[in-house]
């Protein structure tokens, strides 16, 4: 094994979503929650635009838009929040968990949403729990919104019963189908597993010294810290992307629970073979292709590892908004020393990508069509966050997401 | 604070982006945090533009707030000037940067970049997207204008002002309006902001007059040119057959030319008048339609709907407060009170209460209509990617009128089908949950939504009357229920019987 990948920093202009974007998937994942952004018209516009422009007729999110009178101090912001929340709860009495979500403007004017959440939790006690987190673009990028949201949940989670036996907490929003598959696998292995966030009753998951944390997503630094503060212990592992990633992830959990490796072999034999079979089909298309990543979701190092290790792709550049070595260490070990570019300047990276002309560029929606118009095939980073890609049964789907733009290019004759 | 699920307009800096993105050789430095770069995808995804908007974001972060965001702005402006070499550099702040009070315009000017710098003041907590677009265009026009004495202008020449990025069918409207003007021999001096360079804007003064296609975008600049430089502007917008005829006359007057050649295009190109008079269109008579959108498109749709389709207007409104007076005046003419609101929930309530059979609106109203089980056609921004069609689909001119015909009739239940639906209520294909058959089996209608429109606490329906009501097709049932309840309430009846139902029907005539 070679030395782990070095991290190169290139500060400059970024073209990344802010953490508010996480609401787009979190509001579907946590079914009894509602997300109220306290921000500007830009925040409201961002969420509806990031959601592919208004795909949901009745979303479980909204924005309390700050106006001139809020800033000029003519209106007491805390009273305004109370008024807006009262109106919201009246309209949507089904809301059990309300997140007040901070934004760039609410951070800059130092609006205390934690205080508001505490007060509102008391006011609506027994009916709606109110928590707060910040998805502001001055502090978070894209997937870090989920991190901030889950981190806000952790202190609210109940303590386990005294003398509770060790159990596994799988952390990070997963598609329902993936969550169910993993739940079955851990059940087969005899590991008692829970998921955070869970689809319902997100606040009922116990956490304590008996909890072992297995991250399902790499962008959960603050959540991990908050869980550790509750006594939980982290199981470092690569992420469950691809046949090998998933195998290593499951094995890490099994080791932590003292499950014999033959037991693991038996449980994963069939799904793992299926994943290899599905990947073999895509390897002919993706093998040898040169792939570059713009920074978007923090999934980039794991995806690059998957493409390189399991599909024989060549990695041209790995950009990522932020690289937490504590979490990504096991991935960095497997990247053959390929450097990670953290927080790339978008114009300078565009220059490099134009010069390198990779076969596939993984990037944000703002860059994809312009690069396609320059003759470069692209894959939207956001699709990798919005699709079920984890686990054995999805390994082929994940490869297919990368193969599709290439296959499309081959197919089109116009 | 204002509670919003969806917004009709973005912040004013997005309006500014709609101007610079439409133009050539122009660049904007936007003092903004990283998340604000989402705005790029409005243009690259929704409108499928093949280039990034010419905008450099400073993307400051929390750590920069403690040190120097002003330095970041200066670096960004310097780098953008070198990298993109624009003819003009606009400098603005988004909502968060506005709070920092860094004076981006002043800072950029102090750098001596060797290009003209146009600073923009876009108050994000007071104003919105359309205002931002109008203000940006006005600042550019004003900053770059070179006066030409009125007597040196060619009378039969004009500028076309207003078409910009993310506009509703602007690209196709330009082609239609060019053809109308061309038929009358009127020269087109400059089209702006679409595809115009700053150098083009310096030549605006050479034209005899300005054609203002979208007052929301170009009104401020055109009014300034009229007021300060005595360059007249048009006021009519050629959406629909009647308005196109009016527009031709208005333009011919301004240019001093014969309108006949442009008028003659109607006979050759325009099918709406005959389609509307053909007998199969009888079923459109008195269809109740709710219109909501930007002021220009809403007012135009109200006129076209009533005069050229034979619809009855059930509601008219706009999200644009700047143009509230125009919309109120138009609504007055139809005996309605205009709905002026940018609260999507309020618009939804108004549509539910009006029980229309068709909604002409924006992407938001498309959702509302879907939920209420009513047909909908999009007539105005904000719009979805599917509202930027590959084919030419103008709203303006004679071909535009044809497009309106096709797109507004399509979502309706067609004439004979409407009869059959009324006759055979239990048919497997024509039952309540089935939508219009030409929209496919998936076009199912959530009937309950329309039913919910009925008032509660009023007269009670007896069993027979309730059963009879169910035999009325879903798309008029809400209206029938409300009429009957109002009729019963007026007469003090506590119970609605079969007779009440049919007496109300006789009373209202429909």
Confidence of residue A163 (pLDDT cuts 50, 70, 90): confident
More confident site: B65 or A209: A209
Q: Which residue of B has its CA nearest to A138?
A: B61
Residue A283 pLDDT? 94
What average pLDDT does this structure show over B366-382?
Answer: 90
Of A17, A45, A62, the CB nearest to B10: A45
Q: Phi and psi at residue B381, in whole multiples of 5°?
A: -65, 155
User: Which pair of tokens denotes residue B230?
Assistant: 């005595």
Q: What is the CATH number of domain B460-509?
A: 1.10.8.550
Confidence of residue B452 (pLDDT cuts 50, 70, 90): very low
Smallest CA-to-CA distance from A151 within A121, A193, A196, A84 is with A196
Question: Does residue A201 register a pLDDT over 90?
Answer: no
- The answer to whether A86 touches A79, Cβ cutoff 8 Å, is no
Name every chain B residue with its beta carbon within 8 A of the beta carbon of A109.
Answer: 99
- The answer to whether B4 touches B343, Cβ cutoff 8 Å, is yes
Residue with tokens 């034999």: A269
Confidence of residue A52 (pLDDT cuts 50, 70, 90): low
Name every chain A residue with its beta carbon within 8 A of the beta carbon of B21.
Answer: none
Task: Please check whether the two domains, B12-128 and B460-509, share a CATH topology.
Answer: no
The strand order across the sheet containing A211-215 reads A193-196, A167-171, A211-215, A233-234
Residue A310 pLDDT? 97
Residue B452 annotated as catalytic = no
Residue A112 pLDDT? 95
Considering the candidates B68, B280, B427, B499, report the single residue annotated as catalytic.
B280
Q: What is the CATH number of domain B12-128?
A: 3.40.50.1980
Distance from CA of A246 to the nearest CA of B (A): 32
Between residues 370 and 389 of chain A, which touch chain B (CB distance below 8 Å)? 370, 372-373
Confidence of residue A50 (pLDDT cuts 50, 70, 90): confident
A240-260: pLDDT as tens digits: 999 999 999 999 999 999 999
Of B36, B50, B61, the CB nearest to A42: B36
Q: Which residue of A has its CA nearest to B348?
A: A57
Of B7, B52, B384, the CB nearest to A41: B7
Per DSSP bridges, beta strands A61-65 and B2-4 are antiparallel
Question: Does residue A265 register a pLDDT over 50?
Answer: yes
Of A45, A48, A67, the CB nearest to B2: A67
* Three-state DSSP class for residue B263: helix
- The answer to whether B168 touches B46, Cβ cutoff 8 Å, is no
What average pLDDT does this structure show over B198-220?
Answer: 97
Of B36, B52, B385, the CB nearest to A137: B36
Q: Which residue of B has its CA nearest to A76?
A: B1
CA dist., res. A157 & res. A160, Å (int): 9
On whether any CB of chain B is under 8 Å from the CB of A278, the answer is: no
B453-483: pLDDT as tens digits: 344 567 899 998 988 888 777 767 877 888 8
B326 marked as part of a ligand binding site: no
Q: What is the CATH number of domain B150-269?
A: 3.40.50.1980
CB atoms A57 and B125 under 8 Å: no
Residue with tokens 């089909």: A281
Question: Does residue A280 register a pLDDT over 70?
Answer: yes
B113-165: pLDDT as tens digits: 889 999 999 999 999 999 999 999 999 999 999 999 999 999 999 999 999 99
Question: Does residue B438 register a pLDDT over 60?
Answer: no
Query: What does the domain layout of chain B look like in residue ranges?
Result: 12-128, 150-269, 272-410, 460-509
On whether any CB of chain A is under 8 Å from the CB of B138, the answer is: no
Confidence of residue B411 (pLDDT cuts 50, 70, 90): confident
On whether any CB of chain A is under 8 Å from the CB of B382, the answer is: yes
CA dist., res. A204 & res. A209, Å (int): 16
Beta strands (DSSP E) in B113-225 are: 117-119, 154-161, 187-192, 207-212
- The answer to whether B54 touches B91, Cβ cutoff 8 Å, is no
Q: Going by CATH, does the domain composed of B272-410 fall within 2.102.10.10?
A: no
Distance from CA of A332 to the nearest CA of B (A): 26
pTM over 0.80: yes
CB atoms B44 and A367 under 8 Å: yes
Question: Does residue A57 register a pLDDT over 90?
Answer: no
Residue with tokens 């040898």: A288
B285-305: pLDDT as tens digits: 999 999 999 999 999 999 999
Neighbours of A116 (CB within 10 A): 21
ipTM score over 0.90, yes or no: yes
What average pLDDT does this structure show over A382-405?
Answer: 94
CB atoms A369 and B45 under 8 Å: yes
CA dist., res. A219 & res. A388, Å (int): 17
On whether any CB of chain A is under 8 Å from the CB of B390, the answer is: no
CA dist., res. A360 & res. A313, Å (int): 10
Please give the mean pLDDT across all residues of chain A.
93
CA dist., res. B461 & res. A116, Å (int): 47
B416 marked as part of a ligand binding site: yes
Smallest CA-to-CA distance from A41 within B193, B126, B247 is with B126
What average pLDDT does this structure show over A380-385?
Answer: 90
On whether any CB of chain B is under 8 Å from the CB of A66, the answer is: yes
CA dist., res. A184 & res. A181, Å (int): 5
Neighbours of B127 (CB within 10 A): 21
**Hey, what's the torsion of the CAs at A69, A75, A81, A85, to 10 degrees?**
-90
Question: Given phi > 0 = left and psi -120 to 50 = alpha, else beta, which region is B492?
Answer: left
What average pLDDT does this structure show over A347-372?
Answer: 96
DSSP A295-338: SSSS-HHHHHHHHHHHH-PEEEEEEES---HHHHHHHHTTTTT-
Please give the mean pLDDT across all residues of chain B.
90
User: Which pair of tokens denotes residue A139?
Assistant: 């502090």
Confidence of residue A75 (pLDDT cuts 50, 70, 90): confident
Start-to-end CA distance of chain B, whole Å, equals 44
Question: Does residue B442 register a pLDDT over 70?
Answer: no
Residue B370 pLDDT? 86
CA dist., res. B217 & res. B164, Å (int): 8
Percent of chain A that is helix, strand, coil (3-state, to 5): 50, 15, 35
Question: Does residue A118 register a pLDDT over 60?
Answer: yes
Residue B419 pLDDT? 63
**Hey, what's the torsion of the CAs at B112, B113, B114, B115, to 10 degrees?**
-120
Name every chain A residue with its beta carbon within 8 A of the beta carbon of B365.
Answer: none
The strand order across the sheet containing A290-293 reads A7-9, A340-342, A314-320, A290-293, A360-363, A378-380
Smallest CA-to-CA distance from A210 within A166, A274, A157 is with A166
Helix axis angle, B397-409 relative to B260-269, nearest 10°? 30
């Amino acid at each position: 094994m070679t030395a782990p990948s070095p991290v190169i920093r290139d500060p400059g202009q970024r073209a990344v979503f802010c953490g508010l974007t996480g609401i787009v998937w979190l509001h579907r994942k946590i079914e009894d929650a509602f997300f109220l952004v306290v921000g500007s018209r830009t925040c409201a516009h961002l969420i509806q635009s990031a959601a592919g422009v208004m795909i949901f007729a009745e979303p479980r999110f909204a924005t309390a838009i700050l106006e001139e009178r809020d800033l000029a101090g003519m209106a007491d912001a805390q009273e305004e929040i109370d008024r807006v929340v009262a109106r919201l709860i009246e309209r949507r009495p089904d809301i059990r968990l309300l997140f007040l979500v901070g934004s760039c403007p609410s951070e800059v004017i130092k609006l205390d949403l934690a205080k508001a959440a505490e007060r509102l939790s008391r006011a609506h006690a027994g009916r709606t729990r109110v928590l707060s987190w910040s998805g502001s673009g001055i502090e978070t990028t894209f997937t870090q919104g989920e991190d901030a949201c889950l981190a806000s949940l952790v202190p609210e989670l109940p303590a386990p019963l005294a003398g509770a036996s060790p159990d596994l907490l799988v952390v990070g929003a997963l598609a329902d189908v993936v969550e169910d598959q993993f739940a079955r696998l851990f059940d087969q292995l005899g590991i008692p597993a829970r998921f955070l966030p869970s689809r319902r009753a997100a606040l009922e998951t116990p956490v304590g010294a008996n909890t072992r944390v297995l991250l399902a997503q790499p962008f959960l630094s603050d959540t991990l810290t908050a869980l550790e503060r509750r006594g939980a212990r982290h199981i470092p592992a690569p992420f469950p992307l691809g046949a090998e990633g998933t195998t290593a992830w499951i094995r890490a959990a099994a080791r932590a629970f003292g499950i014999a490796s033959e037991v693991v072999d038996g449980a994963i034999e069939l799904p793992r073979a299926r994943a290899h079979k599905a990947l073999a089909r895509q390897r002919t298309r993706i093998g040898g292709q040169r792939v570059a990543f713009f920074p978007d979701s923090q999934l980039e190092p794991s995806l690059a590892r998957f493409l390189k290790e399991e599909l024989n792709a060549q990695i041209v550049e790995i950009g990522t908004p932020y690289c937490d070595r504590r979490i990504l260490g096991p991935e960095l070990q497997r990247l053959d020393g390929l450097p990670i570019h953290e927080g790339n300047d978008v114009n300078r990276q565009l220059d490099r990508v134009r010069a390198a002309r990779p076969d596939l560029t993984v990037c944000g929606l703002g860059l994809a069509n312009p690069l396609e118009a320059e003759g470069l095939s692209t894959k939207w980073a956001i699709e990798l966050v919005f699709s079920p890609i984890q686990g054995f049964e999805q390994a082929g789907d994940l490869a297919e997401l990368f193969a599709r733009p290439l296959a499309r290019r081959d197919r089109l004759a116009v | 604070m204002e509670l919003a699920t969806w917004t009709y307009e973005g912040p004013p800096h997005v309006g500014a982006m709609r101007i610079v993105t439409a133009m050539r050789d122009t660049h904007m430095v936007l003092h903004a945090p990283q998340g604000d770069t989402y705005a790029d995808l409005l243009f690259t995804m929704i409108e499928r533009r093949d280039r990034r908007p010419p905008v450099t974001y400073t993307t400051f972060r929390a750590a920069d707030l403690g040190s120097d965001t002003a330095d970041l702005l200066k670096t960004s402006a310097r780098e953008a000037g070198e990298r993109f070499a624009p003819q003009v550099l606009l400098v603005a702040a988004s909502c968060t940067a506005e709070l920092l009070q860094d004076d981006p315009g002043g800072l950029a000017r102090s750098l001596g970049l060797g290009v003209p710098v146009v600073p923009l003041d876009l108050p994000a907590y007071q104003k919105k997207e359309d205002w931002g677009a109008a203000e940006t265009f006005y600042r550019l026009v004003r900053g770059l204008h070179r006066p030409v004495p009125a007597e040196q202008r060619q009378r039969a020449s004009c500028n076309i002002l207003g078409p910009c990025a993310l506009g509703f069918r602007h690209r196709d409207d330009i082609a239609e309006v060019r053809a109308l003007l061309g038929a009358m021999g009127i020269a087109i001096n400059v089209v702006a902001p679409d595809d115009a360079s700053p150098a083009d804007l310096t030549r605006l003064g050479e034209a005899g007059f300005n054609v203002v296609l979208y007052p929301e975008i170009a009104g401020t600049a055109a009014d300034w040119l009229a007021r300060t430089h005595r360059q007249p502007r048009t006021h009519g917008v050629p959406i629909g057959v009647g308005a196109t005829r009016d527009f031709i006359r208005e333009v011919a007057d301004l240019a001093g030319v014969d309108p006949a050649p442009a008028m003659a295009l109607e006979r050759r190109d325009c099918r709406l008048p005959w389609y509307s008079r053909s007998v199969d269109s009888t079923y459109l008579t008195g269809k109740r339609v709710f219109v909501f959108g930007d002021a220009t498109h809403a007012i135009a749709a109200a006129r076209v709907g009533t005069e050229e389709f034979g619809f009855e207007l059930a509601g008219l409104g706009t999200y644009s407060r700047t143009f509230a007076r125009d919309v109120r005046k138009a609504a007055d003419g139809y005996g309605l009170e205009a709905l002026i609101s940018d609260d999507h929930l309020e618009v939804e309530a108004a549509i539910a209460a009006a029980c229309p059979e068709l909604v002409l609106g924006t992407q938001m109203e498309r959702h509302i209509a879907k939920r209420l089980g009513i047909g909908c056609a999009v007539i105005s921004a904000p719009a979805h990617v599917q509202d930027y069609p590959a084919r030419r689909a103008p709203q303006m001119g004679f071909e535009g009128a044809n497009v309106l015909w096709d797109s507004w009739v399509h979502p309706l239940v067609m004439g004979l089908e409407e009869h059959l639906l009324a006759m055979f209520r239990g048919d497997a294909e024509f039952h309540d949950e089935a939508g219009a058959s030409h929209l496919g089996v998936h076009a199912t209608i959530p009937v309950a939504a329309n039913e919910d429109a009925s008032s509660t606490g009023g007269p009670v329906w007896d069993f027979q009357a309730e059963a009879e009501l169910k035999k009325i097709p879903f798309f008029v049932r809400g209206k029938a229920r409300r009429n009957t309840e109002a009729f019963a309430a007026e007469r003090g009846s506590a119970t609605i019987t079969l007779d009440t139902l049919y007496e109300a029907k006789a009373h209202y005539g429909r």
